[in-house]
Homo-oligomer: A and B are copies of this chain.
Amino acid sequence: MGKPGKYILTPESGAEAGARASGTGTVQPVQPAATRAERWSVQRLLDVIGQPSVTLVLWDGSEFPPQRATSVADIIIRDRRALRRLLVNPEYEFGEMYSSGRIEVVGGLSDCLEAIYRALRTDKNKGRLRERLAKRLAKRPRNSAARAQENIHHHYDIGNDFYRLWLDEQMVYTCAYFATPDASLEQAQTAKLDYVCRKLQLKPGERVVEAGCGWGALALYMARHYGVSVKAYNISKEQVAFARERAKREGLDDRVEFIQDDWRNIEGVFDVFASVGMLEHVGEAYYGALGSRMDQVLSTAGRGLIHTIGRDSPGPLNAWIERRIFPGACPPSLSELLPMLEQNGFSVLDIENLRLHYAKTLEHWSQRYEAHVTQIEELFDETFVRVWRLYLAGSLAAFTSGTLQLFQVLFSRSGNNDVQWTRDYLYQESN
């Protein structure tokens, strides 16, 4: 890759490819060669993002940098207006332009994004980006119950049929646990459910509350395999309907209750609090309220587990992902997450970072997604296909590069001595 002139980007072929990718069918006008100012700007852009090992190719076939030895992918910018938008706000507009087909990536999309994520983290970039991040951090969304309802509806209510095409058979939409890297997605999701139950040391008859239950897989697993009763909260209407139906079908509806409501309204007394993949949507402004709610509903020997996407240091989610995919989402660093426990009388027992397991999970999802891309295009349209392709590839890149983490935080009431002596018990049987 990276040899000059390798793409024949005549106006005709450019227009054809652009039309196919954007799905509009219109023919783009003939574009003249890039100007000196445009060429300078592209070089500057590469400099600013830390010279990732990718090649930028403009509509006239010119490549930047001209002779990169180790490029993992070519990013083709199909027209000058796309370049202009990219230069103004690269973090956000890359996603917009890719979605509409005005930017194309040749080579692995997630490899390309991983190279960029890694370059963004170099020392040179740290200072420069810190200020921008601080500004965006200050503007992080505040997810009231009403706002949370909109946010969750946006992502999770787009149709169970869509998710069924590329999730595992139990519809688990969170990081799996691969006992070995070659485990199947089905094995790894079941292993994750069981790993969470074992970390929590569930005992028959105990009362569990789950905050954010997806399509219900964990709640049902807990009830079936560990004999507990579960109240599972979720504000996604489609997910709750699916979960209730499954509980009924499997004869677990006497022990598992799915409640379509916000975590702010959790009521009752429970032995165990579990939340897998919800904290991402809560927002730091409400961590105190969540911790206080856990304190209110957990028994004196209560314990809990929070499984969440996180970060190595405070920072916002990618702007495009936050706008187009997960409105209101913000993965916390541990120092942002833990005051929720510290200020409410809890003690951290165990924190595990499963970052590479999420990368592996996303590899599986991406493969399944691509295998059903024709069906997905029929359900939606080509822009939707590209949006979700970029989201999955970008997430894979974020976990592979260490831009995102996956934390499992196990905790109990402070001073509770009824805890496991060592962590051996987690590894006695293979998953």
Q: List the interface of chain A (C-beta within 8 A of B).
A: 118, 121, 126, 177-181, 312-314, 333-335, 338-339, 341-343, 345-353, 355-356, 400-403, 405, 407, 414-417, 419, 421-424, 426-427
Contact = CB atoms under 8 A, between A and B. Distances in A.
20 contacts: A121-B414, A177-B422, A178-B421, A179-B424, A181-B421, A312-B341, A312-B345, A333-B338, A334-B334, A334-B338, A348-B353, A348-B407, A351-B351, A356-B421, A402-B416, A402-B417, A423-B423, A423-B427, A426-B427, A427-B427
Nearest to A401: B415
Contact of A348 (B177, B334, B416, B419): B334
A312 B118 contact: no
Contacts of A314: 342
A350 B355 CA distance: 11
A363 to B, nearest CB: 14
Contacts of A414: 121, 312, 402
A312 B342 contact: yes
Nearest to A336: B335
A356 B180 contact: no
Given A312-B345, A350-B352, A401-B415, 16 more contacts: A121-B345, A121-B414, A121-B415, A178-B422, A179-B422, A312-B341, A312-B348, A334-B348, A335-B339, A348-B407, A349-B353, A350-B351, A356-B417, A356-B419, A402-B415, A423-B427
A421 to B, nearest CB: 6
Contacts of A345: 121, 126, 312
